[in-house]
Amino acid sequence: MRSFFCRSCFFLMLLTLSAGPAAHAALGLALPGTQKVAAPENQAPLSYSQLRGFLMDFADRYMQMVGQAADTLQRESQDPDTRTAIQSIKLFPCSAAFSIAIDASPRMALLNMEVLVHLQGGVWKEEAPKRFGEKAVFLLKVQDELEKDIDAIALKVLTPEQLGELKTLVDEWRKEHPDQRYVSYIRFSDFSSMNPRRHGKSTSLFSIAGLLSALQVVNMDEATRSVDQARMVAERTIYLSQRIPTLLRWQTEMLFYGLVRDATRECHTLIWDWVKACLVIVFSVFVLTLLHKAISRRL
């Protein structure tokens, strides 16, 4: 009896090991963790749930790293305008990252996350040194790490050539909109309005349908089953509900910094008006005194 039990356990173990990642995913064991992802070679295509998990984990890292860099910059500055600008650096991009991560289509979410990170990074690399000087290194170092991170996730479903084409598309959009500084809510679908003549031979890949078809994602039926859809909705709801308090706190802080900034400006205006009024009074008294002396001498 004991030998039969041992042989049965050994046989089940062999079946489990030989089943591979597909069986683990079917059993719900392939949920991604919070570790940083690399781009190993010859990796099997991801399922929808795995890709969504990678994007959710990345959004968390994005919030933590950008938020920490912004806090470091805020500690180095006491100017209300600068503190308000720094608060917007972590509030709007992080809010956009969370909204992208819970998108119903993980394929579109991946493209949108790539656009967000590289487009926002392009703006920071141009504007941060002008605004923060040498202190901008805190933000730019974090941006470089995040770009490598999201590229590693993208390489799980895109080839290096396709990823390069996507980055080229982002660069072309920046060239067509050089003065656009608020890019947190620019999405991949917004690139459809770009001038196709500027892209040459890459026009076919620059189309949304072309790039989406290039994504290698398996288990497409998984996203269409009613039970899995309900589970995904619940996971996305829980995920976002746990992060909303942080976003609300950042929004409140930004409101406070804005009020302080406006109050400071009003205070400076009132003080300057008071100083001007005092100068007018002093000058008037001085002129009247001179006139009084002149009249007294003549009398």
Q: Which of 67-76, 192-201, 229-238 is predicted most confidently?
A: 67-76
pLDDT tens for each residue of 12-35: 444 343 434 333 433 333 333 334
User: Average pLDDT in the 250-258 region?
Assistant: 80
Give me the pLDDT at residue 178, please: 87
Asked if residues 189 and 208 have their Cβ atoms less than 8 Å apart, the reply is yes
In a domain, 151, yes or no: yes
In a domain, 200, yes or no: yes
What secondary structure does DSSP assign to 120-149, as a single string?
A: HHHHHHHHHHHHHGGGGHHHHHHHHHHHHH
H-helix or E-strand spanning residue 217: strand 217-218
In a domain, 171, yes or no: yes
H-helix or E-strand spanning residue 167: helix 160-176
In a domain, 29, yes or no: no
Q: pLDDT higher for 118 or 250?
A: 118
CA distance from start to end of the chain: 136
Residue 158: pLDDT above 70? Answer: yes
Q: How confident is the model at residue 11 (pLDDT cuts 50, 70, 90)?
A: very low
Q: How many domains does the chain have?
A: 1
In a domain, 287, yes or no: no
Give me the pLDDT at residue 39, please: 42
User: Average pLDDT in the 207-230 region?
Assistant: 56
In a domain, 214, yes or no: yes
Give me the pLDDT at residue 151, please: 95
In a domain, 156, yes or no: yes
pLDDT tens for each residue of 256-299: 777 876 666 656 565 666 666 677 677 777 767 777 677 777 76
The 10 Å Cβ neighbour count of residue 262 is 12
Q: Across the strands, what pairs with 61? A: none
Residues 285 and 266: their CA atoms lie apart, in Å, by 28
In a domain, 24, yes or no: no
Residue range of the domain that includes 161: 38-268
